[in-house]
Homo-oligomer: A and B are copies of this chain.
Amino acid sequence: MSSYRVPKRDMQFVLFDLLNYEAHTQQLPGCEDTTRDIVEAIMDEGGKFAENIVAPLNAVGDKHGCTWHNGEVTTPPGFKAAYTEFVDAGWPSMVHPVAYGGQGLPASMETMMSDMMGAANWAWAMYPGLSHGAMKTLLEHGSEAQRQTYLTKLISGHWTGTMCLTEAHCGTDLGLLRTKAEPQADGSYTISGTKIFISAGEHDMAENIVHIVLARLPNAPEGTKGISLFIVPKFLPDAAGEIGARNAVNCGSIEHKMGIHGNATCLLNFDGAQGFLIGQPNRGLNCMFTFMNNARLATAVQGLIHAEVAFQKSLSYTKDRLQMRALSGVKNPNGPADPIIVHPDVRRMLLTQKAFAEGGRMLAYSLAQLVDIEDHSQDAAAKQEASELLALLTPIAKAFMTETGFEAASLGMQCFGGHGYIQEWGAEQNLRDSRISMLYEGTTGIQALDLLGRKVLANQGATLRRFTKIIHTFCKSQENNAELKEFIGPLAAVNKQWGDLAIQVGMAAMSNPEEVGAASVDFLFFSGYVTQAYWWARAVEVSLPKAQDPFYAAKIKTARFYYQRLLPRTASLALTMRAGALGLLDLDAEHFVF
């Protein structure tokens, strides 16, 4: 089995060649210390942790899974020890405010860490990973006392956090949720109800678990306007803020899932558990969006890492495996056959994985920079632009990167032939683990509705135009760059088409709102391919002057592959997204089968 190697050279390329990371941090108050030296030290130390401590637990976690016994969950062998070491090294606190015990680095450093830790072992990385959303929610919406009590412990990593939204009868449609919160005389609430699919909802790795729970107050308005947000700790803090009484929240069972076996997906029973309101009553869903947007970006990274893992495994195998001769003649005369990497279709699969991994990295890190600007910039216009672009690009990144991550993982199995289907090589675990990313934190269909309905059409394309204008300006700026012409021509064309298609769908939706749902997923994929095309063109722009170096030459060749083999998928998407709602709605539900 090939083992994970941190793609440092590519991470450096994205941060320093492409995104001018040092200039970026220099202009953000409080982030000036995040210099290239610091970033590379984190990359090195974090990379060692990922490669040496976390990656070796990946197959172990899949094989052993989590076990439930009388409400207690035992994580796979080695998980707890690795987490303890992770906490002792101070990793959980890296990007959180100094005022609450953090190290104050920009959030983008967490994205880089997640790229490494997630690729090494996604199921393990989710335990600390889910805490970040809880921390951000408390930081933005919690009271000062709540921050002192809970946020500090989460930042230290001694406690972990969860996000309790889903109930058996509602996931997407949170307006239907039934968990109740009854006010008590002391200002706290008793929380009663059952939540399902709670990742890291119960485990043995941390001292305490801070559940962030959506519930309804008595007489709350129906639907999403009657949902409030609560802190429900597994152990109630005592007066000193240390672990006190066990709260009435219990893990009833864990799910048997297709993948990410090392992460406990819990059913949680809240049996009159003590909870504490976060923010204003009935404004819980708004607060939760802080958590949700964070989680969506984190899940986008999951797409990238499955592509990266698939690529690394496939590359190693296809260079070693000898099978058949190249159609153009023998390439390995001393062996009984040629390594299968000589075959064009094997290379098509490898380059697809590579393009999705590296393209995803560019998109994910660029979005992380927007988060940094939102968090730290004092330039109101820059903050506003960053927020708008994030709103537009988050659903694209989440859905497109997870879907292409799954595609890459499946191609990974294909590169191994029959050997990919057995456990030995890890290709099948990567495929199984990748598949959940298209489901949680909102399915691809939900991201697509968010994108087309809320982010594009709701403001008549204003936000979309903000981004297409950035692409347009880039294309204009490169008009005289002859070497970039093969990229700029197609990019300008699909960029214009993107706006045109949004208008066409918007017009259709004015007469029938179902046209939005009928076009949305194809529109999202189209958006993903254009966005990636932009980043690949930018990658070529910065690589051209250094093309003597094989690294940069490879970047240009990968970009060319993207433009020749992946971007043309937009041609079909442009056709199908305009096919209209009628063909989807015309068949009565009772006539689907006879």
Contacts and interface: CB of A to CB of B under 8 A. Distances in A.
Nearest to A441: B418
B572 A324 contact: no
A576 B558 contact: no
Contact of A347 (B256, B406, B565, B584): B584
Nearest to A13: B594
Interface in A538-569: 550-551, 553-554, 557-558, 560-561, 564-565, 568-569
Nearest to A312: B593
Interface in A415-459: 417-424, 428, 431-432, 435-436, 438-440, 443-445, 448-449
Contact of A551 (B336, B418, B570, B594): B594
A38 interface: no
A354 interface: yes
Contacts of A518: 344-345, 348
A581 interface: yes
A461 interface: no
A422 B568 contact: no
A482 interface: no
Contacts of A428: 257-258, 435
A431 B258 contact: yes
A345 B568 contact: no
A101 B339 CA distance: 48
A206 interface: no
A98 interface: no
A1 interface: no
Given A418-B166, A551-B594, A594-B554, A514 B344 contact: yes
Contacts of A593: 7, 9, 312, 315
A586 interface: yes
Contact of A558 (B255, B337, B344, B587): B587
Interface residues of A, number: 105
Contact of A344 (B265, B423, B581): B581
Contacts of A328: 512-514
A592 B315 CA distance: 8
A436 B410 CA distance: 11
A298 to B, nearest CB: 16
Contact of A589 (B312, B319, B564, B584): B319
A326 B514 contact: yes
A316 to B, nearest CB: 10
Interface string A213-250: 00000000000000000000000000000000000000
Contacts of A439: 413-414, 417-418, 420-421
Contacts of A345: 445, 448-449, 517-518, 520-521
A47 to B, nearest CB: 15
Contact of A324 (B172, B431, B560): B172
Interface in A346-376: 346-348, 350-351, 354
Contact of A256 (B7, B422, B512): B422
A176 B337 contact: yes
Contact of A421 (B339, B406, B423, B435): B435
Interface in A279-331: 312, 315, 319, 322-324, 326-328
Contact of A575 (B435, B520, B571, B579): B571
A333 interface: no
A352 to B, nearest CB: 10
Given A413-B439, A512-B328, A565 B579 contact: yes
Nearest to A558: B587
B586 A557 contact: yes
A414 B343 contact: no
A328 B582 CA distance: 13
Contacts of A572: 568-573
30 contacts: A9-B594, A169-B322, A170-B323, A171-B419, A176-B336, A258-B422, A315-B592, A328-B512, A344-B585, A345-B517, A348-B518, A351-B584, A354-B592, A410-B435, A417-B443, A418-B436, A421-B439, A428-B435, A431-B435, A432-B432, A550-B588, A554-B591, A560-B583, A560-B586, A564-B579, A564-B583, A570-B572, A571-B572, A571-B575, A572-B573
Given A172-B324, A176-B323, A561-B584, 4 more contacts: A9-B594, A173-B322, A414-B439, A431-B435
